[in-house]
A and B are shown apart, each in its own frame.
Chain A
Amino acid sequence: MLRITKLPITIFALFIIFFPWIARQIPAIDHYTDIMVFAGIYCLITIGLSLLMGYAGQISLGHAAFYGIGAYVSAILTVRYGLNPWACMCIGVAVTAAVALLVGAPSLKLKGHYLAMATLAFGIIIFIIFNEEIEWTGGPDGMAGIPGLSIFGFELDSVEKYFYLVWGFVLAAFVFTVNVIQSGTGRALRAIHASEPAASAMGVDVSRFKIMIFVYSAVLASLAGSLYAHYLNFVNPSTFDLFFSIKLLIMIALGGMHNIWGAVIGAGLITFLSYEWLHYFEEFDVIVYGAILLLVTIFLPQGLAGVPGIVKDWFRS
């Protein structure tokens, strides 16, 4: 759980670098690169959320809101004011951080159910705002015409180029988060998870760390939202509804919330399930998601990331 070694990260990076090339060789999966863009966007959110839930032990059922704020700030500022997309992304991050601070500071004093409900309520309120402030957000119909991204005049106009951009962000966030986990901050977080009174007795400033991580995870969600808006060139509120927050929870629970790799695995699997493998179920896929969530909670509390440990124990005994 604690040690994150360099080798898996290298293998992971190589896999990402060669993925579009591999997908291109096999016609049946050549659209997987497109799905992987979404997987990367979700991954960015789950990495932060896994730090918050798995390492700091705080639950959030409102991260769809931060994701949405990032996306809408990017959409509104680029479409209505013609600002530079990268500047909008930064403004989105700043706005989200401010909102997260505002909501997080009183929320994180709460525990367990109370925190879950407070973040849930916050998420729904933001969702209602997206729907109701039609002048700004376009209401339920959403907003179209969001420009794509370019780096120094180099247009990221193909799926593959965007793929590398998104996964570049994911890799950076991953490495940064791993460093956080292995630093004093990470130890402080695990101490908070184990016992808040004990942690604070050891001199850990519990509330400061909790808020810091909450804001960090919100910022990652906001970045993901901006990336999403510029990739699809379109946003509408239903992307950021309560079920998306629950889907994030499913990703983390399935992957394993006590392991940062779980965030990556969970986001990838659930993305492929929802974009590709569950087409047969149409909209009844919610039953499958519910079943996955329930079965994982009952039979695999450590998530898929815990499977190697279980197998190891099994061989030993």
Chain B
Amino acid sequence: MEKITLASQLLQYLITGLTVGSVYAMVAVGFNIIYNVTEIINFAQGEFVMLGGLIMVFFHVAMGLSLILAFPATVILVTLVGMLLDRLAIRPIRQPSVLTLIIATIAASIIIKGAAMFIWGKDPYDLPAFSGRNPITFLGAVIQPQYLWVIGFLVFVVIALSIFFDRTIIGKAMSACADNADAASLVGINVKQMILLSFALSAGIGAVAGITMTPISLMEYDRGVMLAIKGFGAAILGGLGSFPGAILGGLIIGSIESFGAGLISSGYKDAFALLVLMAVLFFKPSGIFGDIEISKIKRF
């Protein structure tokens, strides 16, 4: 038995934290995509992650589809749910205000959660890890191969998104909506379609987060709220609307949570991220990369 030193213990917390943080970062990126185009905070963001995990379990475990097929199938299905959310809950609102939009996405999130409980019940589900569960030992810390998948997918999502927003015409059109929706529609961009697309994209990323995290932490119907609020904490910490901020914020929140749970109290694990969220909101609501001037221009 190898001796567990404090250093390796701390390294363990850091690695676990960065893994969990990658999931929060993906949720935060999802928040930002919708927020940038619509200025809506989608309280149902965490439900996409939950759905991603559970639908993947359905395709991969229950139906026996291979990983290669089940993964895209799950992402597509959750993306459709995201589009339905826009069409059924957001667009029908005639006089959108912050309050009504918050309430609509909360309503959608409890409907999705209830439906998931109806379909999958209350038990947590496991998913086989993508490349086995033989841990890798690194400087005394134990790394599950799945950790690398989670972090790897975060990197993939970030690269894919930056190519999408910088290099493709649709991505640029979406960025234009984010800057000024009225001006964007004047130059012929269909803003409604861009909003729909933002919900689709953000749901898809949520699904990826859910699929990759399920082999590590299982998945059950009521996980969404906590994921959403921690992802929001990550987005706020980094500066709402900023993509590098979302990633940095996610990794920081994940690490704080992991160190807090390991060194202070595991019972208060969830409270640490929330305390960080409240502290940022109270003392520097613009976050690390956020711009106060820009946040003043935003409608909501």
Contact = CB atoms under 8 A, between A and B. Distances in A.
Q: Is the interface of B mostly helix, strand, loop or mixed?
A: helix
Interface stretch (B166-174, B211-219, B245-253, B267-275): B267-275
Given A128-B270, A287-B114, A298 B104 contact: yes
A298 to B, nearest CB: 5
A117 B281 contact: yes
Contact of A132 (B233, B268, B283): B268
Interface string B259-300: 000000101101100110110011101000000000000001
B261 to A, nearest CB: 12
B110 A59 contact: no
A106 to B, nearest CB: 4
A121 interface: yes
A297 interface: yes
A113 interface: yes
A116 B102 contact: yes
Interface residue range, chain B: 35 or more
Contacts of B236: 114, 117
A57 B100 CA distance: 11
Contact of B271 (A113, A125, A242): A125
B225 A242 contact: yes
A18 to B, nearest CB: 35
A253 interface: yes
Contact of A294 (B41, B89, B98, B274): B89
Contact of A122 (B114, B226, B278): B278
A290 B93 contact: no
B64 to A, nearest CB: 29
Interface string B222-245: 000110010011001000000000
A57 B114 CA distance: 29
Interface of A is mostly: helix
B93 A114 contact: no
Interface residues of A, number: 39
A301 interface: yes
A177 interface: no
Contacts, number: 119
A106 B99 contact: no
Contacts of B229: 117, 120-121, 124
Contacts of A106: 281-283
A297 B103 CA distance: 7
A114 B232 CA distance: 10
Contacts of A253: 103
A284 B106 contact: no
Contacts of B99: 53, 57, 59, 112
A120 B229 CA distance: 8
A112 B98 contact: yes
Interface of A: 53, 57, 59, 106-107, 110-114, 116-118, 120-122, 124-125, 128-129, 131-132, 242-243, 246, 249, 253, 283-284, 286-287, 289-291, 293-294, 297-298, 301
Interface of B: 41, 88-89, 92-95, 98-100, 102-104, 106-111, 113-115, 117-118, 225-226, 229, 232-233, 236, 265, 267-268, 270-271, 274-275, 277-278, 281-283, 285, 300
Given A111-B98, A290-B113, 8 more contacts: A110-B285, A113-B300, A125-B274, A128-B270, A249-B106, A287-B110, A298-B94, A301-B94
